[in-house]
Chains A and B, each alone.
Chain A
Amino acid sequence: DAGITQSPRHKVTETGTPVTLRCHQTENHRYMYWYRQDPGHGLRLIHYSYGVKDTDKGEVSDGYSVSRSKTEDFLLTLESATSSQTSVYFCAISAGRSGTDTQYFGPGTRLTVL
């Protein structure tokens, strides 16, 4: 257990509304990640962070933004949710000093956009 929590765990929202998902860690890890999981696609990286205020895009970043103002929190924002963003979202941390070390995952957030 790497002390990762995600909130909310479930959310239903309507198309066009903004949504923010929160990832919180308790162990001061430098690297944090947001993934989405969809059937047939496995896990795809949305954004990641390598320190406070330091973020970079992943494979599927369009329509998403992130912020990291504190080491322990990494926020994922859907500025205007669309039905294609219905998915399960996972937060992860990297256990080592680099982003290539073992990743540990949170429990996930199931988001439904109607």
Chain B
Amino acid sequence: AQSVTQLDSQVPVFEEAPVELRCNYSSSVSVYLFWYVQYPNQGLQLLLKYLSGSTLVKGINGFEAEFNKSQTSFHLRKPSVHISDTAEYFCAVSDRNTGNQFYFGTGTSLTVIP
């Protein structure tokens, strides 16, 4: 089974500053990678996903992530954050060859400070 590590449980950042949310997973063999966002009292929404092809993936709301197979990482970045980006962010991995399920990290709470 995969395991997913989001090292930063809380990330405060000033408005218009860049941000990186880190995600590492346990095995690089044939994975699909996802980032989800959860606003307060809501369900999870897909931000972006990596299935194959270019290792730099662009998503909604100006976010992007880079798949690094050698470092088994899939870090999420945004060059300039807004107040509205304040939310919980979850990284998830699925195993293409063996799995019927996702493995989620414990989440990173992003707080954008005015």
Q: Footprint of B on A, CB under 8 Å? A: 31, 33, 40-45, 48, 50, 56, 58, 90, 92, 98-108
How long is the Cα–Cα vector from A98 to B100 in the complex, in angstroms?
Answer: 7
Q: What A residues does B105 contact at CB under 8 A?
A: 42
Contacting pair B43 A99 (CB below 8 A): no
* B90 and A99 within 8 A (CB): no
Stretch at the interface among B14-22, B66-74, B77-85, B91-99: B91-99
Q: What's the dominant secondary structure at chain B's contact region?
A: strand
Q: Is the CB of B43 within 8 A of A33?
A: no
Contacts of A31 in B (CB 8 A): 100
Take A90-B43, A90-B44 as given contacts and tell me if A42 and B106 are in contact as well, using a CB distance cutoff of 8 Å. Answer: yes
**Cβ contact within 8 Å between B44 and A99:** no
